[in-house]
A and B are shown apart, each in its own frame.
Chain A
Amino acid sequence: MPDTLVPAQADRELVRRMAAGDEAALGELHDRFSTLVHSVVLRIVGDPDDAEEVLEETFWQAWRQAGRYEEGRGGISTWLVMMARSRAVDHVRSRRRFREERWEQLPEPAEMDGGGADAGEPSPLESAQADEVRRVVAQAVAKLPPEQRETVELAYFRGMSQTEIAEATGQPLGTVKTRARLALQKLREALAVLREDGR
């Protein structure tokens, strides 16, 4: 994710304050990122109660691990989103195990539409920059060939492993890997434009 996404320095200061035990900084981190994190979590778990639970776990994890956040390794939003996604996927998986359901029987989440720019109320994060990122990501996702988009969708938002994706789509494992690689490379190129614009 581009450094220009959010005022990175201010966010890092929040994490530094959290690491020093300032609970108000956790509140500010929540204000700043709750819409982004909630959106991705809700997309994965599909239920507001489950999403709330995952959000609480995510921000709590951020509080407990603030001291271990390494500044050189990506932005705060990447750190938070990846924690949230991982917890949301675990949540769905444990629910799936609990109910002994198959993926096909889980409620179908809405199609990844990349149309987030038009949805929802503005949040503190909703800056012109965030809108720009949303627009660029939406365009890049829309330009992906359907099979690459599907691979990313199944892995990222459905938490499926590459083997599960291969089984679900009837494709060889190697093809799934290639699709994932090509999709992320194209997205990275699209986001590089943003990075250059912001510098």
Chain B
Amino acid sequence: MSLEMTHDDVRAALAAEALGALDGEEAEAVRAHLAGCDECRRELESLRETAAALAYAAPQVPMDADRSARLRARLVARAAADRGGASADAPPPANRIGALASGDEESGVIPISRARGRRGMMGGGWLAAAAAVLLLIAVGAYAARMKGRYEALSDRYASLDQERTQLVQAIAKRDSTVAALSGPGVQVIELASTQRRAPGGRMFWDPATARWTFFAHDLPALRPDRDYQLWLITPAGPVSAGTFKPTPDGLATVQATYALPRDQLRAVAVTEEPEGGLPRPSGQPLILGTYGE
């Protein structure tokens, strides 16, 4: 340490240190003093906390959402690989260098000892330089390979993570459907066709949870500007349970939550309506199932 600083000199320089603005020699002198001075260490810590708060003086700009999601996935993937021992299928660079130096047959690099043997006339310094260049090339190639591998793994992880999220959501939805069908008090109303064709449906109603789960089959295809609408027929009139479009195979599923006293359901019906549905059915039901004694 060439610069001598008194305790007071250091105190005066701590703000600049907290701001990361000390020049080399002075920074060294301050750090040397800090090693033996609790008072200055505490003061620096306090000034650092203050300096860190300056982050709040910058305009708060969140990272672009896609960019942020990709970064997050990369970080978590890197951390998972780091934790899981990235060396499981590839030795870490330090070991790899050791292997190269000792003449790894798979490395594609001529081992130093062998090179010397073949070219005994060459000077040792030249050889060492050549070997160092070869080593650098090998390490560079290894790093590039690892980088490519890491990027591929990151992408793969992100894609699997997304797939997993979708599966969890799909399973949760299915669990919810099964729960709505299998409750002890679930009521089943069969809907039969009122037409010559044979569409049909089945409504599962769990009054305890107010969940309605409806399946239909063989529904005729709709024009683009039309929907099917599901109705709960009560003494006060029909209540819409939602609109839907069938699959190309004529299948449909509708789920709804609507609390209805058990003695208030007279029937369940499906009508064809303008897209988006109507407050009251405009035509005759395509399928209808009555309920009650």
A-to-B contact residues, CB < 8 Å: 1-2, 18, 21-24, 26-27, 30-31, 34-40, 42-43, 48, 51-52, 55-56, 59-60, 63-64, 73-75, 77-78, 81-82, 85-86, 89, 110, 112-117, 119-121, 123, 126, 130, 133-134, 137-138, 141, 152, 155-157, 159-163, 165, 176-178, 180-181, 183-185, 187-188, 191
Contacts and interface: CB of A to CB of B under 8 A. Distances in A.
A137 B72 contact: no
Contact of B15 (A48, A163, A180): A180
A177 B12 CA distance: 7
Given A119-B59, A160-B21, A187-B50, A27 B72 contact: yes
A146 to B, nearest CB: 15
Q: Do most interface residues of chain B lie in helix, strand or loop, or is the interface mixed? A: helix
A184 B19 contact: yes
B51 A137 contact: no
Contacts of B13: 177
B138 interface: no
Interface string B57-88: 11111111001100110111011101100000
B79 A81 contact: no
A133 B60 CA distance: 12
Contact of B50 (A73, A86, A155, A191): A191
A26 B76 CA distance: 7
A137 B49 CA distance: 12
Interface stretch (B40-48, B109-117, B173-181, B263-271): B40-48
A42 B120 CA distance: 57
A43 B48 contact: no
